[in-house]
Chains A and B, each alone.
Chain A
Amino acid sequence: MNGPQDLGGQMAFGPVAPEKDEPCFHADWERRALGVTLCAGAMGAWTIDESRHARESLHPADYYGSSYYEIWIKALETLLKRHGFVSDRDLAAGKAVDPAAMPKRVLKAENVPDVLAKGGPCDRPIATPARFKAGDLVRTKNFHPAGHTRLPRYARGKQGAVEAVRAGFVFPDTNAHGQGENPQWVYTVVFDGAEIWGEGADPTLSVSIDAWESYLEPA
């Protein structure tokens, strides 16, 4: 979706503000926000793609007015309600009022090290051969889906070169919506700065994205 998350090339956000000796967290609630988000995700009711889509579905004014952990928590409330774990009445009361759906699993403290060390690989076996090879010229599709996609607007309808064939990966555009993993080949595609930004582009710039096969057509 053409949501607030799709930031590449947007303007007027001001300078980057690196913070010297930045702490890992800026307030204790950020610690809890990280942990609650990871523990809730570990229930197994939604995928990382669905959670990204919940975040980018915030109203743009809300998204841009929120810090990243605030975005996480607002999206988490949406996910918890959607999947029947939390109700509006619970949130209004600030305590458990309504019964909850049954989670697939609950992450216990003793299992955290293993779960974090294992992660959640998104590569999948894929039966079809890769359509493109390194060096191929490709053009990204020009589309504007209402649902989740990982093809940023600035890179749509652009010609680039396949630099690497990666592997089969879960396709976020369907997986975010409960429509299956449908793995596709992923390629690193590199574009000249001028192809993307046109007049006035930095002549020394090239930009790459990692693109699922259905985002690409032969150039």
Chain B
Amino acid sequence: MSHDHDNELDPFAARVRALETILTQKGLIDPAAIDVIVDTYETKIGPRNGAKVVAKAWVEPDFAVWLKRDATAAIGSLGYTGRQGEHMQAVFNTADTHNLVVCTLCSCYPWSVLGLPPVWYKAPPYRSRAVIDPRGVLEEFGLTLPATTRIRVWDSTAELRYLVVPMRPKGTEGWSEERLADLVTRDAMIGTGLAREPA
């Protein structure tokens, strides 16, 4: 489904370049603005943001309560705000329940904490099966949950954006937030993975 378009002669690359040229010539867009947008999502906004939110929730019970009650404000307090993170909801994994986030209708994703979505998140295999066969999907990520674990799938059909707070791994007592954040993967915050075990 995803195509590889590395070649500058690729017809689709030419199509995008033509569109950018037309809009620039008409004064409708500023190509330098594109550079800033790309730089923002390539270097500034990514899953590292979400990992800091999760690690803070692990070590500060008051922050975890705030995150559960008003995720937009709690996440905003760390400076993570804005586009595709305007209305946040944090959902917490427990020993009984595993949360999984999908957008079956398009590609809704919490950009402010996770950055741009990976290709698989936007592609039909994940979007079609996450709601009907989440265990099968998780197996493809190498994650096998106990048969008794309840699975809650959150389909992002409106403007709420979901961040999964994975369970804190055992053996991390006394760890700093920074060290803990290294255990929090992007997939763990979508629900297609768990937090890493300490090495």
Contacts and interface: CB of A to CB of B under 8 A. Distances in A.
Interface of A: 5-11, 13-19, 22, 24-36, 38-40, 43, 52, 55-56, 64, 67-68, 70, 73, 76-77, 80, 85-86, 90-91, 94-96, 99-100, 103, 106-109, 111-113, 115-123, 150-152, 154-155, 166-167, 169-170, 186, 188, 190, 196-197, 202, 204-212
Interface stretch (B48-56, B59-67, B147-155): B147-155
Contacts of A43: 28
23 contacts: A9-B128, A10-B128, A13-B125, A17-B123, A25-B38, A36-B34, A38-B34, A39-B29, A76-B19, A77-B19, A85-B23, A86-B22, A86-B23, A94-B21, A108-B32, A108-B33, A112-B40, A113-B40, A116-B37, A116-B82, A119-B83, A152-B157, A210-B156
Interface residues of B, number: 87
B120 A19 contact: yes
Contacts of B81: 117-119
B37 A9 contact: no
A108 B122 contact: no
Nearest to B46: A24
Nearest to A87: B22
A5 B105 CA distance: 5
B15 interface: yes
B12 interface: yes
B153 A207 contact: yes
Chain A: interface secondary structure? mixed
Interface of B: 1-6, 8, 10, 12-23, 25-30, 32-38, 40-42, 45-46, 81-87, 104-107, 112, 115-116, 118-120, 122-129, 131-135, 137, 140-141, 147-160, 187, 192
A48 to B, nearest CB: 8
Contacts of A100: 26, 28
A91 B106 contact: no
A99 B15 CA distance: 20
Contacts of B14: 94
